């Protein structure tokens, strides 16, 4: 399968613990995005990488959140000191820099439950 | 701030019916509008509509962009139970960012 992959698919943790999610984009895609989706809502943008550079961060991304894409390939999203409000589906998407428009393709997501 | 509004929020139809889903957007510098289908997993891409491509069709699904009304519709004809999903609309602007702004989605349920 050459689509976007994410790991783990599900994560249950206790409040206060740290969690880390991984995203592997489509191999030739240089852009990578993280979104968060809560029940009944559309995905909300968190952050965006072009190659290894993090070019934009949403105000939703508090100091407890950090994302990296060290070699311009896979990316990790870490949440420190998790809170119950962090429970959501975390979606990763990737796209290829094109002429004017590029389509984002989504991975299966990591569903986080904070107890 | 850019905004996307979808209607209706939910819809229940019977197999064979035709449905029309609506999306309106407010965006500073429009680049494209996208439709995704989301079942119990990640959104899967359906269509991208731009100023140079305002109508797309794939099988029973079609979509039109109305640049004057800042809106788009997604039509599904001869619906099947497999069409049951959440349909998401997203806009993409040229304001120096590549993030998508999504609506809350329309939940479609097709009954056999």
Structure tokens at B5: 């509004």
pLDDT in tens, A2-44: 699 999 999 999 999 999 999 999 988 999 999 999 998 999 9
pLDDT given for residue A80 in this prediction: 97
Q: Does position B96 have pLDDT exceeding 80, yes or no? A: no
CB < 8 Å to A33, chain B: 98-100
pLDDT given for residue B1 in this prediction: 74
pLDDT given for residue A96 in this prediction: 87
pLDDT given for residue A99 in this prediction: 56
Mean pLDDT of A79-108: 89
Distance CA A106, CA B80 (A): 24
State whether B42 and A4 contact (CB < 8 Å): yes
State whether A103 and B88 contact (CB < 8 Å): no
Distance CA B99, CA A105 (A): 12
Alpha-carbon gap: B3 to the closest alpha carbon of chain A (Å): 12
State whether A45 and B34 contact (CB < 8 Å): no
Q: Band the pLDDT of B12: cuts 50, 70, 90.
A: very high
A33 at interface of B, judged by CB pairs closer than 8 A = yes
pLDDT in tens, B43-62: 999 999 988 778 999 999 99
């Amino acid at each position: 399968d050459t689509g976007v992959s994410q790991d783990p698919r599900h994560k249950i943790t206790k409040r206060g613990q740290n969690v880390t999610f991984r995203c592997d984009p489509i191999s030739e895609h240089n852009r990578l995005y993280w979104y968060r989706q809560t029940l009944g809502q559309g995905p909300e943008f968190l952050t965006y990488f072009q190659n290894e550079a993090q070019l934009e961060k949403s105000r939703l991304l508090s100091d407890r959140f950090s994302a990296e894409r060290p070699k311009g390939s896979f990316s990790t999203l870490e949440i420190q000191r998790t809170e119950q409000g962090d429970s959501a589906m975390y979606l990763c998407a990737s796209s290829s820099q094109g002429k004017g428009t590029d389509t984002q393709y989504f991975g299966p997501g990591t569903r986080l439950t904070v107890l | 701030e850019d905004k996307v509004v979808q209607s209706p929020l939910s819809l229940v139809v019977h197999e064979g019916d035709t449905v029309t889903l609506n999306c309106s957007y407010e965006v500073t510098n429009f680049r494209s509008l996208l439709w995704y289908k989301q079942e119990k997993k990640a959104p899967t891409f359906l269509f991208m509509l731009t100023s140079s491509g305002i109508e797309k069709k794939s099988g029973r699904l079609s979509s039109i962009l109305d640049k004057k009304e800042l809106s788009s519709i997604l039509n599904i004809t001869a619906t099947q139970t497999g069409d049951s999903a959440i349909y998401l609309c997203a806009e993409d602007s040229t304001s120096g960012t590549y993030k998508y702004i999504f609506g809350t989605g329309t939940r479609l349920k097709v009954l056999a």
